[in-house]
Amino acid sequence: MKLLALLALLPALAFAQAPDAPSPPRWALATSTAHVAPGGPVQVLVVSLAGDPLEAELQANLKHGAGEQVVVLAADAPAEGDKRRYRFTMPAGVAGSATLELVAGSSSVLVLLVDAPSGSTPKAAEKGTLELPLSENDPMYFIVGGHRGGDLTAKFQLSFKYRLFDTNAGFGKEQPWLAGFYFGYTQMSIWDLSEDSKPFRDTNYKPSVFWQWERTDDRTWIDAARVGFEHESNGRGGIDSRSINTVFVRPEWHWKYANGSRLEFTPKAYAYVDKSDNPDINHYRGYVDWRVRYDSGANWITTSVVRYSDTGRGSLLVDLSRRIRDLKFGPIGGYLHFQVFSGYGEELLDYNVKRDTQFRIGFSIVP
């Protein structure tokens, strides 16, 4: 019950610490429907609140996930006083929640829910035009906490992937399947804030190379898959050195529902190629990361990752994020982020140590 009470207070705490309200917007945006289709038309009503002229074309920032792009709103009808109807095409690569606001002058933020066509996913051959070369990979966050009566720690993670070939030029254009090759990198650190010198307890580095496939029909039994090689180490020497090399496969199943919510099941199975620094790590980590993610389509996103070994040891990681559309942090929206970790090996250095359950709260840009 205490946990539920804390979660209920998170939005209130965030707004209580928000800066003074900005000046009223000069433009208001509205639409007749919040649900739109990728590649489909979107009608937007623009209202000039300050008497500014309604031009034939207006530029707007479209933000989705960790991406942002400029779209052109073309007038769909003559102005009617201080109102005018506009239209633009939702880019085909956008899915989930997106926000729209005008580039020139302050405007209200219009929230759109972009639904992929039923039973389909973006084609792999189109990835060169649908996704930016550099994009998010795993969650990115900064959180602080610990356990009751224990040390205070901060935990932060950065993660991205880079597409190695582009379908619009060179080898990627000649062989579109090459656009599925990515370089990925994830870095996670645990920072001990209770010690006098505030040392980093451990930092884990995880580069990878993988090929990503996405289905292009309605018959294939999985929606997508990744196959690749991954190295993970803590960059130390001597008795504190920890590292593993693995090959992995990650199939993906996605389900979308009428209310815009989305469920993903993406287990990652791996085999150890080298674990000489920590030969018994499989007894604590196992061979599969069982990952389930649920996006409510509105404000809440929950992700759970379970590891379980043949010795009965393992771990549970639960991330809970809430979208905060009223606070702006650069080109991407912010999330309140709450995390619980229980079990073995939150970091590589102590892969065989079971610590007390950790509770942390903070901010994320990719939940």
Going by C-alpha positions, the residue among 252, 259, 339 that lies closest to residue 299 is 259
Residue type, 194: S
Report the distance separating Cα 44 and Cα 86, nearest Å: 5
Is 231 an active-site residue? yes
Token reading at 212: 């990503």
Report the distance separating Cα 214 and Cα 40, nearest Å: 21
Token reading at 153: 């720690």
Cα angle value 33/37/42 (rounded, 5°): 50
Active-site residue (options: 147, 231, 254, 283): 231
Report the distance separating Cα 166 and Cα 126, nearest Å: 10
- Cβ neighbours, 10 Å, residue 148: 7
CB 114 within 8 A of CB 38: yes
H-state helical runs in 17-169: 127-130
CA end-to-end span of the chain, whole Å?
Answer: 24
Going by C-alpha positions, the residue among 137, 116, 125, 108 that lies closest to residue 175 is 125
Active-site residue (options: 106, 135, 159, 233): 233
CB 54 within 8 A of CB 47: no
Report the distance separating Cα 182 and Cα 277, nearest Å: 27
**Going by C-beta distance under 8 Å and a sequence separation of 6 or more, which residues neighbour residue 16?**
none
Residue type, 257: Y
CB 205 within 8 A of CB 114: no
Is 120 an active-site residue? no
Catalytic residue IDs: 231, 233
